Structure 1
Amino acid sequence: MTYVIVHALAPIFVIMLLGFYAGKAKKVDNHNVALLNVFVMDFALPAALFTATVQTPWAGIVGQAPLVVVLVLAMWIAYAAIYFLCTRVFHKAPQDAAVLTLTVALPNYAALGLPILGSVLGSTPETSLSVAVSIACGSVLMTPFCLLILEREKAKTEGTQHSSATMLPILMWRSVIKPIVWCPLLGVVLSAFGFHMPELLLSTIRPLGLAATATALFLTGLILSARQIRINQAVIVASVTKLLIQPFIAWGIVLALGLHGPLAITSILMIALAAGFFGVVFGNRFGVESPDAEATLLITSVLSIVTLPLFISLTAGM
């Protein structure tokens, strides 16, 4: 088991460390990562996830339904709890609370999902499909809540506020039309209709997908190299929630649903991943800086070196 854990995590953190070093050594501008982010989020990862979903039989896609239930419930519970604490206990502004909350609630599926599941369960179409499903859940069912709050507060400042009921469908649509969401969804639709993608087309886009994992990890390290650590109560609560409480929430849901085998392991390990960077990215887009979210992103990424092996070990017998 120790060999499996080391084999799973070593490449991940080595590549992240290279990205971190490149940013700190100024070999790459860690404050302007837009081009690399576009490559990962709009081209490489969508290609990898589309390839996975379109080659998966429809029955296999339907079998991912329990994973959706576990992920959505674990993310929503963490989101509600952290947002309540941020606004009522730590007295943060709504937009700052939204950025930190999304950072905690939405794991880093994009960068860490494929390498972790691939190392633990094997690099198969099923593991790639699970990552695609996870990203779609987070993009469509989580990010709109953060964007809704950011848009609402921006509208208040500009004096052009719209109702939340009007804005939410628009924001969900904006999430769906992102390549990282619609590409795997297109693969699902084609699979549902029994369409077989020509091998020539698959072999054409496959090299782009192969670049996804390493580039996403390098990008994560690069982003982390630009962050400053400022530890306070909010950061401690957020980090503990992300690394320990949220995965055990997922574990409880898995037990309640009676899941076992690879599906149960996937459900827990995907939630046990470090915090994602979508919250920080969205905050920057709206001019909202959240040092607490940045610190949580950095701390959870580092401490996941300890917590991920813990959950890999705990789920080994499921």
Structure 2
Amino acid sequence: MTYVILHALAPIFVIMLLGFFAGKAKMVDNNNVALLNIFVMDFALPAALFSATVQTPWAGILQQMPLIVVLVLAMWLIYAAIYFLCTRVFHKSPQDAAVLTLTVALPNYAALGLPILGSVLGDSPSTSLSVAVSIACGSVLLTPFCLLILEREKNRAATGGNGGSSLSMLPVLMWRSVKKPIVVGPLLGVILSAIGISMPEMLLAAIKPLGLAATAAALFLTGLILSARQLKINRTVIVATATKLIIQPLIAWALVVMFGLHGSVAVTAILMIALSAGFFGVVFGNRFGVQSPDAEAALLISSVLCIVTLPLFIALTAGM
């Protein structure tokens, strides 16, 4: 099992290392990655998420409702808790807190979901469906929270803090967040799936290369961003990493027990949440000009330490 986890993690570290090397060697300007960020956030990832959701049968999505409930609750609870700690205890800015919180709360479904789940439950259409549903949950039901905060703070900075109250600005901020391609892509795919509209094969074939490039481009961009920073471990990073690798999976396990789930649904719910931190937070932050060294450190450290924690949760789910 350790080999399987290492095999799944290897592409992550190799591609991030390539991005890191390219930045350090000044092959790419690591202080000006706006163009690559636009490609990743507005084209590659939305195309990948749209393809995954629009090809997911609505009946299959409905069958995954117990999984969706556990994933969403585990992500929302951690998002609320970490954001509160960051702003009230660690005294982080709302932007920094939003980026760190999304990094911790949203597991790396895109890169690790299929390899890990496939090794435990076997490669099958149901496994692929579960991973696609997990990615859609994170993209549609979690990332808008981060975007909402980033848009709010951007608006306040632009208006000198006179942009009105958060409540009065909520409709505008929600619209700005929801219309982002990273949210529109999977949301449109879910809607089309729900009403039974199938995309032409020609269209899916046309955007497939974008989807295939999405994870690699995002990981390369993450490595490039990290090359411009210094890794610092502090109390915030330790708490964030421990929360991601231990507390969040335990919350998922408790929810599974509370709802009386068992079998592949229970295993999937726990293992998807037990994955390492995802790269969305770091990439989102860079798009808004927000640097969060703590989020970057938590991303790296959790990716390394999940080699230890994942087998523990795999063992925990063995009897389910």
Q: TM-score, normalised by structure 1?
A: 0.82
CA distance in 1, matches of 2:33, 2:116: 24
CA distance in 1, matches of 2:122, 2:30: 32
- Amino acid corresponding to residue 209 of structure 2 in structure 1: P
- Amino acid corresponding to residue 277 of structure 2 in structure 1: A
1:98 aligns with 2:101: no
Root mean square deviation of aligned Cα = 3.1
CA distance in 1, matches of 2:113, 2:35: 22
- Amino acid corresponding to residue 217 of structure 2 in structure 1: T
CA distance in 2, matches of 1:223, 1:313: 35
CA shift, 1:126, in A, is 4.6
- Amino acid corresponding to residue 13 of structure 1 in structure 2: F
Q: Which residue of 1 aligns with 2:30?
A: 30
Q: Residues 274 and 304 of structure 1 are in contact (CA less than 8 Å); yes or no, is this contact kept in structure 2?
A: yes
CA shift, 1:242, in A, is 1.3
Q: Residues 135 and 181 of structure 1 are in contact (CA less than 8 Å); yes or no, is this contact kept in structure 2?
A: no
Q: Which residue of 2 aligns with 1:49?
A: 49
- Within 5 A, what are the aligned runs for 1:154-169? 158-169=160-171
Q: Which residue of 2 aligns with 1:304?
A: 306
User: Deviation per CA, 1:41-69, whole angstroms, max 9, x where unpaired?
Assistant: 33233333333333332210112222221
Instruction: Return closer, same or farther for 1:295/1:265 CA change in 2, 3 Å cut-off.
Output: same
Q: Which residue of 1 aligns with 2:63?
A: 63
CA distance in 2, matches of 1:28, 1:118: 35
Instruction: Return closer, same or farther for 1:89/1:3 CA change in 2, 3 Å cut-off.
Output: closer
Q: Which residue of 2 aligns with 1:257?
A: 259
Instruction: Return closer, same or farther for 1:115/1:33 CA change in 2, 3 Å cut-off.
Output: farther
Instruction: Return closer, same or farther for 1:113/1:215 CA change in 2, 3 Å cut-off.
Output: farther
3-state SS in 1 of match to 2:198:
coil
- Within 5 A, what are the aligned runs for 1:133-212? 133-152=133-152, 158-212=160-214
3-state SS in 2 of match to 1:211:
helix
Q: Residues 144 and 178 of structure 2 are in contact (CA less than 8 Å); yes or no, is this contact kept in structure 1?
A: no
Q: Residues 30 and 225 of structure 1 are in contact (CA less than 8 Å); yes or no, is this contact kept in structure 2?
A: yes
Q: Residues 42 and 182 of structure 2 are in contact (CA less than 8 Å); yes or no, is this contact kept in structure 1?
A: yes
Instruction: Return closer, same or farther for 1:15/1:114 CA change in 2, 3 Å cut-off.
Output: farther
CA distance in 2, matches of 1:124, 1:37: 33
Q: Residues 99 and 293 of structure 1 are in contact (CA less than 8 Å); yes or no, is this contact kept in structure 2?
A: yes
Instruction: In structure 1, list runs of 5 or more residues that go unmatched.
Output: none
User: Deviation per CA, 1:99-153, whole angstroms, max 9, x where unpaired?
Assistant: 3333322333444445544565566665554444434433444344444445555
Instruction: Return closer, same or farther for 1:198/1:148 CA change in 2, 3 Å cut-off.
Output: closer
CA distance in 2, matches of 1:211, 1:149: 28
3-state SS in 1 of match to 2:44:
helix
Q: Which residue of 1 aligns with 2:76?
A: 76
CA distance in 2, matches of 1:82, 1:128: 30
Instruction: Return closer, same or farther for 1:93/1:285 CA change in 2, 3 Å cut-off.
Output: same
